[in-house]
A and B are shown apart, each in its own frame.
Chain A
Amino acid sequence: MASSTPSGQRVLASYAAPPAFLASPNWSKVYSTILGQLPLRNIHWKSNSRGTLKTIQELQVTLVPFDSLRDEHTSQVPGTLLEKPLLHIYIVHCEDNDLDTYRNTLKKQIKDWHTAVTSRRNQDWLILQIIRPDTLRQPTGNFFQIKNSVLDKLRTDFNSDKRDRCVQVNWITGNDSPAAWAEFINKMKEGLLYAFDSAIEARQEEVRRSENQQAMPGWNFCTFFILKESLASSFEGMNLFEEALIPYDELEASFYRVSKERNMSWFGPLLPLDPNQDTSPFLSTTKKPYRDLILENKISVLDFRIYLLARQCQLLAKLGRLAEITSKATFFLGAFGERLQDVPTLSPLFVEAWRYSSALSVVEHCNTWAAASSIEASKSASVNAGKGELLDLARSQLDVLGMVAGHLPIAPPFSTSRTSTKIWKPNTPINFINETLNVAINNKEAFYELYVAVLNRAIDFYAKSGRRKFALKLHGNLAALELHRGNLAAALITYTSLPAHYAPHMWTSLESFMLSRALDTYNKLDRTQDVEWIHMVLSFLKTHVEHNCEMLVGGVDKVTCVTTLISSLRESVERLENLAHPDHPIITIRVASNAKLAGGRDGSFLDVHVTNHLPCAFPVDEISVLVSGRESDKFRYASSIDDGCPSGKSTYTLFCATPASGTFLLESSEIRSAHLLLQSNYRKAGKVALPLLIRVPHDPLALDIRISQSNQIQLGRLSSLMVVLSTGRNNVNNAAIRLVAPSITFYARDAELLEDKHAKSFTAGADRIELEGLDEDSDIIFRVPHSDASALTAMKVKLEVDYATKDEPTIVRTSQFTRVLITTLPISVNVEDFFRGKKRVHSTTTPGNIQLISKFTVSTTSHQHVRIANASLELPLDGLEGVNITPCVAKRPVVTVTPIQPANFLFSLDSSHGPVRESLTLSVKYRMLREEVESIIQDQVRGLLEEFPSKAHTRTVLVSKLVNALESDAAWVEMYGITGELAVPQTNEGPHEFDDLMKEAVKRLSQHRHTEHPEGKWREIKIPVDVPFMNIVAAARIRIISTPFAKETLAEELPPLYAGQPISANLNIYTTFHWGLSPSDTNRQYILRFNIEEMVREWLVSGPKRGDFVAKDGETYSIPITLIALHHGEFALPRVTITALPMSGAVTMGSMAVPSIETYQEHGAEKILVLPRGGRTTFVVSMGPG
């Protein structure tokens, strides 16, 4: 670095010494030692004006003999302050105690020198006394005279102010250690700085004075410039580069101020006259005698500016701030070039050529500077960026050159480089100083090579600096060049890859530009328009739509451009296979939230508002919308379009043939153009937006399907459900029904049609049921068996119906219905069994006289009322011999079972041949109250409408209105239960078109009465009932007899019974094994135990109150007992309990088997009248003889 500093700018210091010392051989030793201490290091300099502490790392000081300093004030031109020495050093060799020598000779010599030195302004001095070390070792007898040493003398003689300018160095030959010289060096630094500061201060004062005189006549900017520049060069000489920059920056600012005032008389012309302009290295301060030119006021403005810039750049380079150099240079080239453009006399393209060569030259400069000072990696990025910018600048100049020379088209991106609107006459001779440019402008290929080289260098620099986006832009330029040169394939590759870089951040403008270029290239290549091309077109249209405010494709009319694109797109998509493109913005669809019913046929219409964002029509073949319901059933609304979708908004009505009602979710929409499918999905995962709902009103006349529990339920058999297909308005040609439910299998093959009057053909297939020829307005009912569903409370059945109507045989409608079937039966049945003796004919029970009485309690399982027409206990189909069932009531009216009131049904069962092993069937005919009422309404309305055939279509609506009215109020239920009258409550709905019909229907319903016999459709449930068996059935009877000895007593002859009186009675226990497990049981014997229960308030029981006995089939065991009534009154006889004892020998499950036994009290209902004891009692006492 030091070498680059001109020697004139080094810091000077002079030396002097007594002539004798100079002549001595010691001098050369001392001199070389002092030189050895240089350069000075780590000088801390504090700026006066700014007050900041700066450190000068290293400062070269040149020592010159004092005598050589001669001519002062040789030049009037203010040069650098360092031209003069800053410090004068006097070196004297004198031992400290050698006062005599000093006084006699040295003092005068120093005095002379000192006078000469102090006369100089802004220079400092220093006296160096060198002593020998051995002098110290001398024993000093005059220790107290030390004050009078030579050093002290020197100090007192010469130090004029506080600063001590005298230094003593202990000289040891060969010892040049910094420690020994430290004080001297410090003093030297101090002196240098002191001198420098005062010099600078003086100069600054001078500058300030000159600056203040600006307004005065005779002030010259150039003189001022040179004056101020001297400050800068002084700082530079002191290696204070940052300080040196400041004057230049200030000078630049004052130049602007001056030039703003348009007072340019101090300068020569704007441009130098010599044409040798653009070959020279741009940032060189020596290529021209700039300073002389400035002093002579002859410098051109351009040269002046270049000089100023070059000096700044030099300083910046020394500071290592290369990035600032490039940005300064770029700005200058751009800005000053603009100014030059206005000069009319310039040769054509001078500015461009100047910029081009200057930019390249700056890059070269930077390279050399960078090589000279190693720059850290973090900074090199910005330097590279700066170099890239310079090369970019050079590139844009080439754009202009190329366009003028005809090598490049006058179109973007090249045309954007044209900064002036000047138009050169054709055939203007173009000649440059730069030979490369001359060659390039005359030779196309050479130009391209040059262009590509510059471009690639720029890209390289940008890439190194991490400026990706700049590099991208240049890649675009490169591609444009390739395109122009005809390297279509290369251009296409670049153009197709570039949009991806702009797309992610939605720089649609640039993306669309690239895409349009790519498309152009594609067209020029004559490639077939394949999928890639279509994608490109679609992306282009997308950017076109999104960036609709402006299109950056110059020249071509937007609409024509897009129109041609669309038509060729259409051609190519016709050739291709289906190509789906999601979420393309050229056409947006807004779907109405309410669908309309089709009216005359099944299905609904849905309006869509289509917005075509293109400026021209888009060929659309079909628009469709997919909606989905709760059960993920999907419906498609579609409409084909003949003449394309015009630009702007338009409305289309889509049709969905499937009848479905409810609320649906908008799933997706699709626009089909030949094989191109533009889809948009409205239900994206992770999207928080609210779903779009579409409401489809209910169509009462559409084909409908319902399911219900089978009207023939047989517990224990395969369950089945009933399907009701209502054709509504449709004359159905054929229909196919599939039933699906999770975890349940439907046996479609076993389906049976219940009412076949409406269907011409009924085919039960393996998995579907097919029907043909169904009339309109009819219900087809069939039953489908399915696997057990009792584990589920409700069964969700999905029914798929494919059907085609007579009117529209080509349309196959596929409807999906999801219906829920409650598997729980509406009624539950409990049974209680009793064994009882038959009506007593004889006083004693005889074998076979015990019958079974079953009590069935039917209750509803829900809150609904159930109407029961009949309940019967049935034998198996072929009957059972000897078994006879008698209901307790021969005929009963329809019973209503409510949640609080169950119904009981009793049956008695007689069996002459022992136990009944077959199970019987309880069959209940029932229907829900709601069903019954609905069917009544149906019938009534049907009957009513037969009188008004024109209004037949209103039937369904009318029925539902009536049902709704009944649902609103339950007051009619009681009345209906008794009489059958249906009092329809008044509804406060608004007037309706068939109010009259409604009134009539209400009237008819109120006249409805229950018929005597249950009519209409009833459901039937068949429940298998097992007849219980009982090992032993016992009948116990306490029979009162008149005397203890009477064998038989007739009841009517029973004597009056009194309280307290013993009453004789017989306990008879009749046992039968008739209802036992098997008929062979009759031969068995069981040991039973009887117990007469205590009734301590009424009876005293005497006799065998408890005992065991052996029971045999059909036999009666009798035992006499005596009862005493404790008080009078009418009360029942005590109960007898009979328990079976474990059978000996028979062991069941590890314990003794106890036979089952049921006992009934024959006297359970009897009561005994006990009279109070009254009257007189006579006691006869035998007196004995005598």
Chain B
Amino acid sequence: MPPNLKLNAVAFISPQNHPILIRTFSKQDDHAIKYHYIAHTSLDVIEERVAAAGKAADCYLGLLFSMEDVAVYGYITPLKVKIVIALPLSDMVVRDTEIITIFKALHMAYYSSIANPFLKLSYSGEGSSEQAALLAVGSPKWKNFKRRVDEISWLVGQPSNP
């Protein structure tokens, strides 16, 4: 039976390096800060990777680093939104295709969430509304995005079909 992947945490980070959503799926509350750290520090590595790859960069950035008991993978959308996921570190082969599938699903979730026209409406009053709307998608006011991400995490954790 193939091992199931499990998401420990998902982080969406805006092109300006503002956190959009950091979602942790671990039981321990203490560990939330850890994933915030991970999301924050992974920005350094993403930066390195993007700079190294130059123009022909792929969206999928691969394993960024492994830290303590998690392996951190990165993905950068064409519009430079960064998605970082943390999987539990295990002595198993994790295939890139699986990770890319997860990332694509997360990207899609983000994409469909920011497509909500009401999002911009409620932030139209402020300056640089575009940016604010993007950030707002992760705020507690808008539940859909979070729900979508949770769904993906749940799906990833399901035993795959034989």
Contact = CB atoms under 8 A, between A and B. Distances in A.
Interface of A: 253, 256-257, 260, 327, 330-331, 334-336, 338-339, 381-382, 385, 389, 392-393, 396, 411-413, 415-417, 419, 466-470, 472-473, 502, 505-507, 509-510, 513, 548-550, 552, 554, 686-690
B33 A416 contact: yes
Contact of B36 (A389, A507, A549, A688): A507
B67 interface: yes
Contact of A506 (B19, B125, B126): B19
B91 A689 contact: no
Contacts, number: 123
B18 interface: yes
Contact of B68 (A334, A506, A549): A334
B92 A256 contact: yes
A338 B91 contact: yes
B69 A338 contact: yes
A413 B33 contact: yes
A467 B41 contact: yes
20 contacts: A260-B93, A334-B66, A334-B71, A335-B91, A335-B92, A338-B89, A339-B90, A389-B66, A393-B68, A413-B33, A466-B48, A505-B19, A507-B19, A509-B32, A509-B33, A509-B36, A510-B40, A513-B33, A549-B140, A550-B32
B48 A335 contact: no
Nearest to A501: B40
B44 to A, nearest CB: 4
B159 to A, nearest CB: 15
Given A331-B71, A382-B48, A688-B127, A510 B36 contact: yes
A689 B19 contact: no
Contacts of B67: 334, 389, 392-393, 396
A331 B19 contact: no
Contacts of A467: 41, 44-45, 48
B107 to A, nearest CB: 21
B30 A419 contact: no
Given A331-B63, A334-B66, A469-B43, A416 B34 contact: yes
A554 B44 contact: no
B80 interface: no
A416 B68 contact: yes
Contact of B92 (A260, A411, A473, A509): A260
Contact of B30 (A507, A509, A554, A686): A554
A466 B43 CA distance: 12
A315 to B, nearest CB: 20
Given A415-B30, A507-B19, A470 B89 contact: no
B32 A689 contact: no
B61 interface: no
Contact of B69 (A334, A381, A385, A472): A334
A345 to B, nearest CB: 18
Contact of B125 (A336, A472, A513, A689): A689
Nearest to A382: B48
A510 B33 contact: yes
B31 interface: yes
Interface residues of B, number: 40
A687 B127 contact: yes
Contacts of B63: 327, 331
A382 B32 CA distance: 28
A260 B40 CA distance: 34
Q: Which of A257, A466, A550, A687 has most chain B Cβ within 10 Å?
A: A550
A473 B90 contact: no
Interface string B39-77: 011011100100010000000000101111101000000
Contacts of A507: 18-19, 36, 40
A554 B33 CA distance: 9
B153 to A, nearest CB: 16
Contacts of B17: 505
A507 B126 CA distance: 20
B152 to A, nearest CB: 19
Contacts of B118: none
Contacts of B22: 509
B40 A469 contact: yes
A415 B40 CA distance: 19
Contact of B65 (A256, A257, A389, A396): A389
A396 to B, nearest CB: 5
Closest 6 CB pairs of A and B: A419-B69, A416-B34, A467-B44, A552-B33, A339-B91, A335-B91
Given A334-B69, A505-B18, A256 B93 contact: yes
B113 to A, nearest CB: 16
Nearest to A335: B91
A554 B29 contact: yes
Contacts of A550: 32
A509 B125 contact: no
Interface string B1-26: 01100000000000011110010000
B68 A473 contact: no
Nearest to B69: A419
A662 to B, nearest CB: 24
Contacts of A260: 2-3, 92-93
Given A413-B33, A468-B44, 14 more contacts: A260-B92, A327-B66, A330-B66, A331-B66, A334-B68, A334-B69, A335-B91, A338-B90, A392-B67, A411-B30, A412-B30, A506-B18, A687-B127, A689-B126
Nearest to A510: B36
A245 B30 CA distance: 41
Contact of A552 (B32, B45, B65, B125): B32
Contact of B44 (A334, A396, A470): A470
A36 to B, nearest CB: 43
B92 A466 contact: no
B91 A253 contact: no
Given A470-B44, A473-B40, A509-B36, A330 B65 contact: yes
A652 to B, nearest CB: 23
B41 A473 contact: yes
B155 to A, nearest CB: 22
A581 B40 CA distance: 29
A688 B2 CA distance: 56
A419 B90 CA distance: 12
Nearest to A386: B65
A112 B63 CA distance: 60
A690 B129 CA distance: 13
B69 A548 contact: no
A552 B92 CA distance: 31
Given A331-B71, A417-B68, A690 B44 contact: no
Contacts of B40: 469, 472-473, 502, 507, 510
Nearest to B20: A506
Interface in B106-160: 125-127, 135, 140
A417 B125 CA distance: 44
B127 A689 contact: yes
A470 B37 CA distance: 8
Nearest to B42: A469
A335 B30 contact: no
A473 B125 CA distance: 36
Contacts of B45: 385, 467
A412 B68 CA distance: 14
Contacts of A473: 37, 40-41
Contacts of B126: 689
Contacts of B66: 327, 330-331, 334-335, 389
A61 B49 CA distance: 40
Contacts of B33: 412-413, 416, 509-510, 513, 552, 554
Q: Which of A257, A382, A411, A469 has most chain B Cβ within 10 Å?
A: A469
Contacts of B65: 327, 330, 389
Contacts of B69: 334, 338, 419
A928 B93 CA distance: 98
Contacts of A412: 30, 33-34
A549 B140 CA distance: 7
B59 to A, nearest CB: 20
Q: Which of A327, A507, A687 has most chain B Cβ within 10 Å?
A: A507
